[in-house]
Chain A
Amino acid sequence: MLSELRTMWEVLKHTFTKAETVQYPEEMPYLAPRYRGRIVLTRDPDGEERCVACNLCAAVCPVDCIALQKDTREDGTWYPEFFRINFSRCIMCGMCEEACPTYAIQLTPDFEMCEYDRQNMVYEKEHLLIDGVGKYPDYNFYRVSGMKTATKDKGEALNEARPIDTKSLLP
């Protein structure tokens, strides 16, 4: 009986506490930069597509909502011919972002993607690709990895480090 009275008193004290509710459409909640929302494809600082069509994101995606097709440029680099994310399947888990070796695929703090037509939830490459660099402003994959061209192999140019031998434990 005493505990019931105490409970009632504790609840009564909440008359003067502020409501926790965020009045959503008028009042936007704070979303951290690393919030996992709508997926974008970013470009490197030179304005080129970062995506190298390695297919790791599609392989790791637990709901298989990513589909892409590799194509090769004249200089031998890969790029996605099409890149398609079905957001009606996507669960915003962020595993594609973790898997991506080039920081191309990134999740953004935007979750307002409602559509009346399910088909409109399927985003093609032109919808996904943004003009910016996303969360990694200075990163350019080919500057880090090195690049084979018609005249030289990886790491053979002046001031260019040799590629890391992944088969050896030596530094």
Chain B
Amino acid sequence: MSELMPVILALTILIGGVAGAAILTWFERRLLGVWQDRYGPNRLGPFGIGQVAADMIKLLFKDDWVPPFADRLVFIFAPTAIVVAMMMGFAVVPFAPGMMIIDVNIGLLFFLGMTSLAVYSVLLGGLASNNKYALLGGLRSAAQMVSYEVFMGLSLIGVVMMSGSFSLVDIVEAQTDVWFCFSQILGLIVFIIAGIAESHRLPFDLPEAEHELTAGFHTEYGGMKFAMFMLGEYLGLMLISCMIVTLFFGGWHGPMLIGDWLPPFFWFSSKVFVVICFFVLLRAAIPRPRYDQLMSLGWKVMLPITLVNILVTGAVLLWMEGVA
């Protein structure tokens, strides 16, 4: 049974991830509607949930067209890369005690590596399209993701120092009493911002930037290949939300003072849900920054904050060790 568990869980995540991303497209539009004083898709089925099926059918029946000027092989490969990379990232997410595919001692690094691989998808997609809008989108995403990767990793060093491990299970266990969102508040802020930039969602969706670049890196994509990009984006959103909960909000632990009296998976999923709602709120509220603003925010604000965070966390830890 225990040997079959990862296989069953992997299949569950594969199906659940795709289904979750599909439902998220509908949920996001409804939630944006709530915050913008309108309804969003509410016609098909109860609460408009049938919109998901309608969109799927539409995308599935679209002509699977590759532009004659595109680099055919890379063009087809690019959308799969982001989905594969994001799906792989879920392998180390601890949903509940024992409910994870694999507990590796470098879980955090594995997650960072997998999200970095997603850059290739956007970059190659923009390059292979052989279209100037797509190329500009790809260039932007490369610069944006590479620079935000830097302090995305650095912002987690504080968490790693406090828990003393790269294993996500150990990190969750270290938050049994106090969540890291209090002591690592700077790390949390930087990680959220870098996470949005990493999954290139609004307000940091400069690679797509429909006002400037029509659709950015996926200008030339249509049908299921476009759907793969969207699937990857929503999987990335879910993965980042899972990681924020795991690293800063105590993973499967119940809230402090209330305790663990409900199933661990319930606490985990409800916290992930709240974080996803927060990401949708960001999309509803914050306008997209200019490209140079994005870069200067990254290098001039985010990087110093993370460095200060690491320095202070290290100093406090050493001081407490000396006191004890």
Which A residues fall within an 8 A CB radius of B? 4, 7-8, 10-12, 14-15, 17-21, 23
Name the residue on B nearest A9 (C-beta).
B285
B residues 266-324 in Cβ contact with A at 8 Å = 281-282, 284-286
CB proximity of A68 to chain B, nearest CB, Å = 43
B residues 57-101 in Cβ contact with A at 8 Å = none
Stretch at the interface among B34-42, B168-176, B229-237: B34-42
Name the residue on A nearest B297 (C-beta).
A1
User: How far apart sit A17 and B38, CA to CA, in the bound complex (Å)?
Assistant: 10
| Contacts between the two chains (Cβ within 8 Å), count | 35
Contact B34 A14 (CB under 8 A): yes
Among A11, A17, A19, A20, contact of B281 (Cβ-Cβ < 8 Å): A11
Name the residue on A nearest B32 (C-beta).
A11
CB proximity of B247 to chain A, nearest CB, Å = 22
Q: Does B263 contact A (CB under 8 A)?
A: no
- Do A4 and B286 contact each other (CB < 8 Å), given the known contacts A11-B281, A12-B281? yes
User: How far apart sit A11 and B202, CA to CA, in the bound complex (Å)?
Assistant: 15
Contact A7 B285 (CB under 8 A): yes
Name the residue on B nearest A6 (C-beta).
B285
| Complex A-B: 30 CB contacts under 8 Å | A4-B285, A4-B286, A7-B285, A7-B286, A8-B281, A8-B282, A8-B285, A8-B286, A10-B285, A11-B35, A11-B281, A11-B284, A11-B285, A12-B281, A12-B285, A14-B34, A14-B35, A14-B37, A18-B37, A19-B33, A19-B34, A19-B37, A19-B38, A19-B39, A20-B37, A20-B38, A21-B37, A21-B38, A21-B39, A23-B39
User: How far apart sit A121 and B36, CA to CA, in the bound complex (Å)?
Assistant: 37
Extra pairs beyond A12-B35, A14-B35, A15-B34 (8, CB < 8 Å) = A4-B285, A7-B285, A11-B35, A11-B284, A19-B34, A19-B38, A20-B37, A21-B39
Report B-chain residues with C-beta under 8 Å of the C-beta of A11: 35, 281, 284-285
Report B-chain residues with C-beta under 8 Å of the C-beta of A15: 34-35
Which B residues fall within an 8 A CB radius of A? 33-39, 281-282, 284-286
CB proximity of A28 to chain B, nearest CB, Å = 17
Contact A14 B286 (CB under 8 A): no
Report B-chain residues with C-beta under 8 Å of the C-beta of A4: 285-286
Report A-chain residues with C-beta under 8 Å of the C-beta of B34: 14-15, 19
Report A-chain residues with C-beta under 8 Å of the C-beta of B35: 11-12, 14-15
User: How far apart sit A77 and B38, CA to CA, in the bound complex (Å)?
Assistant: 55
Report B-chain residues with C-beta under 8 Å of the C-beta of A10: 285
User: How far apart sit A23 and B34, CA to CA, in the bound complex (Å)?
Assistant: 15
Report A-chain residues with C-beta under 8 Å of the C-beta of B285: 4, 7-8, 10-12
Contact B39 A14 (CB under 8 A): no
User: How far apart sit A14 and B34, CA to CA, in the bound complex (Å)?
Assistant: 7
Name the residue on A nearest B43 (C-beta).
A23
Q: Which 9 A-B pairs have the closest CB atoms?
A: A11-B285, A8-B285, A7-B285, A21-B38, A20-B37, A14-B35, A21-B39, A11-B35, A19-B38
Report B-chain residues with C-beta under 8 Å of the C-beta of A23: 39
Report A-chain residues with C-beta under 8 Å of the C-beta of B282: 8
User: How far apart sit A119 and B286, CA to CA, in the bound complex (Å)?
Assistant: 48
CB proximity of B86 to chain A, nearest CB, Å = 26
User: How far apart sit A162 and B82, CA to CA, in the bound complex (Å)?
Assistant: 88
Report A-chain residues with C-beta under 8 Å of the C-beta of B37: 14, 17-21
User: How far apart sit A11 and B282, CA to CA, in the bound complex (Å)?
Assistant: 9
Contact A14 B38 (CB under 8 A): no
Report B-chain residues with C-beta under 8 Å of the C-beta of A19: 33-34, 37-39
CB proximity of B30 to chain A, nearest CB, Å = 11
Report A-chain residues with C-beta under 8 Å of the C-beta of B281: 8, 11-12
User: How far apart sit A14 and B281, CA to CA, in the bound complex (Å)?
Assistant: 11
Report B-chain residues with C-beta under 8 Å of the C-beta of A20: 37-38
CB proximity of B288 to chain A, nearest CB, Å = 12
CB proximity of B223 to chain A, nearest CB, Å = 28
User: How far apart sit A18 and B37, CA to CA, in the bound complex (Å)?
Assistant: 6
Report B-chain residues with C-beta under 8 Å of the C-beta of A8: 281-282, 285-286
User: How far apart sit A14 and B39, CA to CA, in the bound complex (Å)?
Assistant: 12
Report A-chain residues with C-beta under 8 Å of the C-beta of B284: 11
Report A-chain residues with C-beta under 8 Å of the C-beta of B38: 19-21
User: How far apart sit A66 and B286, CA to CA, in the bound complex (Å)?
Assistant: 49
Name the residue on A nearest B36 (C-beta).
A14
User: How far apart sit A20 and B37, CA to CA, in the bound complex (Å)?
Assistant: 6
Name the residue on B nearest A16 (C-beta).
B34
